[in-house]
Amino acid sequence: MPQVEPSPPNKHRYGYIGLTDRRMMPLLRPGSTVLIDTTLRWIEDAGWSSEYDRPMYFVEIRNGYRCWWFQKDKNRLIMHPHTLSRCPPESWLMPDEAEVVGQVVGVVSYLGDPWTYRPAAIPEARSDWNSKAL
C-alpha cells in the first residue's frame, strides 16, 4: 500500500509504493518511491494521449493511500489500476473518504523483483506513514 512522507519545501512530498502493491504494474513497480507535487491536486480527465502521458495522483483514503490514475465523477473519485495488473477499480466519495494529496511528478524504481529482494535502501514501514498528509 502506498505511504507518504513529507519532503522540504512544502510543495513536494515523497510517497512510497508498498512491496505488495501491484495496482500500478507494469508502469510503477512495487517498492518505488514517488515525488508528489502537492500544488497539483486537480484531477485531469483529458489532454493526454497515452498511458505514459496520463497523470498519476497520490490520494489519501481512510485506511492509507492509493497511487495511480484517477477519474472524478461528480463527488466520486474512481481509481483505475493498469489493465495488466489485474486489480479491480476502486472508488470513494470526496471529500469524506478520499483526498488528493497531489500529482506524481517523479519516480525512483527498482528493476528486477523488489518484492523478493530487500536492499538496505528500502526502509522498513514506519508507524507514522499512514498519518494524515500535511
A 10 A CB-CB count for 72 gives: 14
Cell (9 digits) for 98: 478520499
Outline where DSSP puts E strands in the chain: 3-6, 12-16, 33-37, 57-61, 64-73, 76-80, 90-93, 98-108
User: Quick one: 97 exposed, middle or buried, by C-beta within 10 A (0-12, 13-18, 19+)?
Assistant: middle
Instruction: Parse the chain into domains and list their residue ranges.
Output: 3-113
CATH superfamily of 3-113: Umud Fragment, subunit A (2.10.109.10)
Question: What is the per-residue pLDDT for 112?
Answer: 65
Question: Residue-wise pLDDT tens for the chain (134 aa)?
Answer: 666 665 555 799 999 888 888 888 878 888 889 999 999 989 887 888 888 888 999 999 988 899 888 999 989 999 988 888 888 899 999 989 999 999 999 988 877 665 555 555 555 555 555 544 44
Rounded Cα gap, residues 53 and 46, in angstroms: 10
pTM for this predicted structure: 0.74
Question: What is the per-residue pLDDT for 134?
Answer: 41
Say which residues have a Cβ less than 8 Å from residue 78's Cβ, sequence separation at least 6.
70, 71, 72, 89, 90, 91
Question: What is the per-residue pLDDT for 93?
Answer: 93
